[in-house]
Amino acid sequence: MDIQLTINDMPLTVPEGMSILDAARTINIDIPTLCYLNLHEMNMNNHIASCRVCVVEVEGRRNLAPACSTPAAAGMIVRTDTPRAIQARRTMVELLLSDHPKACLTCAKNLDCDLQALAADLGVRHINYEGEISEFEIDTSSLAIIREPSKCIRCRRCETMCDDVQTVGVYSAVGRGFGTVIKTAFDRPLHETSCTFCGQCIAVCPTGALMELDQTDKVRKALNDPSQFVVVQTAPAVRVALGEGFGLEPGTIVTGKMVAALRRLGFDRVFDTDFGADVTIMEEATELVHRIKHGGRLPMLTSCCPAWVKFFEHQFPDLLDVPSTCKSPHEMLGVLSKSYYAKASGIDPKKMIVVSVMPCVAKKYEAARPELAQGQETADVDIVITTRELARMIREAGIHFENLKDEEFDHSLGESTGAAVIFGATGGVLEAALRTAYEVLTGETLEKVEFEALRGMEGIKEAVIPIGERNLRVAVTHGLGNARKILEKIQAGESEYDVIEIMACPGGCIGGGGQPYHHGNVEILKARANAIYQEDRSKPLRKSHENPAVLALYKEFVGEPYGERAHELLHTSFMKREKL
C-alpha cells in the first residue's frame, strides 16, 4: 500500500513503512547519516538511531525525529532543512568530536572517515563542548584486525554488521551514557573470540576504530633485503577495485597497471592468484566428481573463503566433513611457488618470501594457520596485504598509477583462464567448478560456459543444473547470516543440494573487508562484479582444465588431481573451535 506525504514542500508517494530517510532519497534530498547502514540489498533494516545526526522536523511533533528510523506516514509534512534541524545535527557532531582523539593527520582513515566528512559538510569549525576524553587500550591481539576503542563513536555499525548481518555475535554495547563502549564478550582480546576476521566491521566503521593489521612495513623490509627472493600474487577481485584508490571509476579493470606497479615496487616475480584458482578448480571439481561417483558426503561446500571456514569451525563443528578440503587459491599458489617454481628455478625455498595482495582481511589470519605449513619448512604464504595497503604503498613510492603502461604477469604461475577470475564475485567459484565438472562427468564439451542463475546480488541463489543424466542441485550464498540459514538446513537434514558455494562478504571477494571502502553503495559492488565478468569474457581460455600451465604442473610435479601428491600440497584440514 502506498501513502502520500510532503518533504520540503515536495509531495511524493512511497510504500507504507518506508523510512523518512529513504523517502527523502527518492526525490534526491540528502539527509546526513552516521550510524545508519544501507542494508536493503540484504533485506534488513537498521533502526539503531544512536547518533541522531539525521534528525528532521515533522509537523505536529514537538521533538525532532530521526529520519532513519521514523516511518513515513500518510499526510506527514517533513522539513529536513530548518535551522533547528541543521543546528541539532551540528551539535550532535560537536559532541561526538568532543570525545574523539584529535589525531586525524596520523589516522589510517584520514580523508576516508565518515565522521571527518560529516563535520566538514556540516561546517563544524569549532567544538563548543570540552570534557573528559575516553581512553581505552588498543587491541592488537589478532593477526588481522586492530581495535582502537578510543576512536569509537558508539554508532554500533560494527555491532549491527557482526550480530545481525553476519550472525557471528562478537560485538556488543556495554554500559550506559558516556561510559558506553563496544566490546567483545567479557572484554576478551579479539583472537580469543569467535571472530571470523571477515573484516566487514572494518568496512562499515565510520572512523579508524577498526582497521586491518598493517603489514606494509614487513613487505618493504623483505623487498630491501638482497638475500630474499620476493614473490607477489594478486587476487582476482583486486584488479577491479585497486583503481578506486587512484580516483578511477569503480569497476575499472587495472590488471596491467597493477602488474607494472608491483614490478616498480621491486618484487622479483609477479604471479597471479588466478593460477591458484585454476588449480583449485582442478582439485575441487575432481573432489566433487569423486563424491558423486563414490557416494561421498553431499552437499559439498566450497572452502576458498577463510572467514567462512572459521565461521563453521566455531558455529557448526559437527559439519567439518562437509566442506571441500581444498586450500584457498592464494595458499595453493604460495606452496607451489615454494616447491614447484622454486625447484624449477633453482631457488632455495627458505630464501623465498611470498606476499599475497588480497581483498580480504581474513587472509592475514589464514596465512598464519599452522596446518597450512605442514610438511613445509616455511609457511605457504608469508605476508598478506589488502588492496588498500597496496594502494598506499604505490602512492608512498611516488608511482603515478594512472600513467603506467600495462604489463603481463610472470610465467608460468601467472597464466590463467576466465574461470579463475570469476572467483572474485559471488557464484564465481561454483560456476568455475561446474565448467570443469560438466566436461569431466559427461565427456562432452560445454558450449555455453555462463551460468547466469548463479550470478547477482541475491543473498541465496538456487539452481538445478543438468549435467548429462543428472540434475545437479546447487546453491550460492554470500554473507555469513545467509550461510547460517544454509547450514541449519544441512544440520536438520533438510538440504537437497549437491554443492554449495559460500562467501563471507557481500558480493563475494569484490566486497571484501580489505577493499576500497564502498560506504554501503551497492552499485560499486555491482560495477566490480561486472568488471570481473568482462575480464572472464576477454580470456581466450575460460575453463580451468584448459590452462596449459596448470596441465604442465600436474604432468611434471603434482600428478593426478585429487591424488596423493595433490593432497599433500593442495589440501588441508579443519578443526573444532570453541564458540566464544
53, 89 contact by CB (below 8 A): yes
Residue whose C-alpha is closest to residue 416's, from 331, 476, 357, 329: 329
Query: Is the predicted pLDDT of residue 17 greater than 90, yes or no?
Result: no
Res 44: pLDDT: 54
164, 115 contact by CB (below 8 A): no
416, 509, 535, 544: the active-site residue: 509
Interval 175-207: pLDDT, tens: 887 788 899 988 899 999 999 999 999 999 999
The domain defined by 2-95 carries CATH number 3.10.20.740: yes
103, 138 contact by CB (below 8 A): no
User: What is the amino acid identity at position 143?
Assistant: L
Active-site residue flag, 564: no
Active-site residue flag, 324: yes
Q: Which residue has the cell 549491527?
A: 160
* Strand 65-66 to 181-184 pairing: unpaired
Res 435: pLDDT: 96
- CA dist 110 and 490 (Å) reads 44
Res 50: pLDDT: 86
pLDDT above 90: percentage of residues in the chain: 88
Q: Which residue has the cell 593442495?
A: 570
Cα dihedral across residues 566, 325, 423, 463: positive or negative: positive
Mean pLDDT of the chain: 94
Res 47: pLDDT: 63
Active-site residue flag, 363: yes
What count of other Cβ atoms lies within 10 Å of the Cβ of residue 580? 14
Active-site residue flag, 287: yes
284, 415, 501, 535: the active-site residue: 284
DSSP 378: S
pLDDT range class, residue 42, cuts 50, 70, 90: low
User: What is the amino acid identity at position 304?
Assistant: C
pLDDT range class, residue 378, cuts 50, 70, 90: confident
Bond before 142 cis per omega within 30 degrees: no
287, 389, 415, 501: the active-site residue: 287
User: What is the amino acid identity at position 235?
Assistant: A
159, 244, 331, 366: the active-site residue: 366
Q: What is the CA radius of gyration of the chain?
A: 25
Query: Is the predicted pLDDT of residue 580 greater than 90, yes or no?
Result: no
pLDDT range class, residue 572, cuts 50, 70, 90: very high
Contacts of residue 205, defined as CB under 8 A and 6 or more positions apart, other chains included, come to 157, 158, 211
What count of other Cβ atoms lies within 10 Å of the Cβ of residue 566? 22
- Paired with 203 in beta bridges are none
Mind giving me the DSSP string for 415-450? Answer: ---HHHHGGGSTTHHHHHHHHHHHHHHH-S--S---
Residue whose C-alpha is closest to residue 142's, from 205, 202, 231, 232: 202
What count of other Cβ atoms lies within 10 Å of the Cβ of residue 9? 8
Average of pLDDT values for 428-437? 96
pLDDT range class, residue 375, cuts 50, 70, 90: low
DSSP 510: G
Q: Which three cell numbers stand for residue 241?
A: 577495485
Active-site residue flag, 371: yes
Cα distances (angstroms) measured from residue 511 to each of 85, 239, 523 = 34, 13, 11
Task: In the chain, list all ranges with CATH 3.40.50.1780.
Answer: 217-570
Angle of helix 306-315 relative to helix 480-491, nearest 10 degrees, comes to 50
Task: In the chain, list all ranges with CATH 3.10.20.740.
Answer: 2-95
pLDDT range class, residue 89, cuts 50, 70, 90: very high
Distance of CA 368 to the CA centre of its chain: 19
Average of pLDDT values for 33-57? 78
Res 41: pLDDT: 55
Angle of helix 255-265 relative to helix 387-396, nearest 10 degrees, comes to 60
109, 151, 338, 363: the active-site residue: 363
432, 419 contact by CB (below 8 A): yes
pLDDT range class, residue 563, cuts 50, 70, 90: very high
- CA dist 52 and 46 (Å) reads 13
The least confident of 97-106, 194-203, 372-381, 475-484 is 372-381
The least confident of 166-175, 248-257, 396-405 is 166-175
- Residue 270 φ/ψ, nearest 5 degrees: -115, 105
59, 371, 396, 564: the active-site residue: 371
- Residue 498 φ/ψ, nearest 5 degrees: -100, -35
Q: Which residue has the cell 577481485?
A: 237
Q: Which residue has the cell 576512536?
A: 151
Mind giving me the DSSP string for 168-191? Answer: ---EEEESSGGG-EEEEGGG--GG
pLDDT range class, residue 373, cuts 50, 70, 90: confident
Dmax of the chain from CA atoms? 80
**Fold of the CATH domain 217-570:** Rossmann fold (3.40.50)
Active-site residue flag, 494: no
- CA dist 361 and 145 (Å) reads 7
pLDDT range class, residue 128, cuts 50, 70, 90: confident
DSSP 326: B
406 burial (CB, 10 Å; 0-12 / 13-18 / 19+) is: exposed
Average of pLDDT values for 419-439? 96
304, 326, 360, 505: the active-site residue: 304
Cα distances (angstroms) measured from residue 264 to each of 240, 252, 268, 269 = 20, 21, 10, 11
- 502: helix, coil or strand? strand
Active-site residue flag, 293: no
19, 150, 324, 339: the active-site residue: 324
- CA dist 55 and 438 (Å) reads 56
- CA dist 568 and 200 (Å) reads 33
- CA dist 13 and 122 (Å) reads 29
- 301: helix, coil or strand? strand
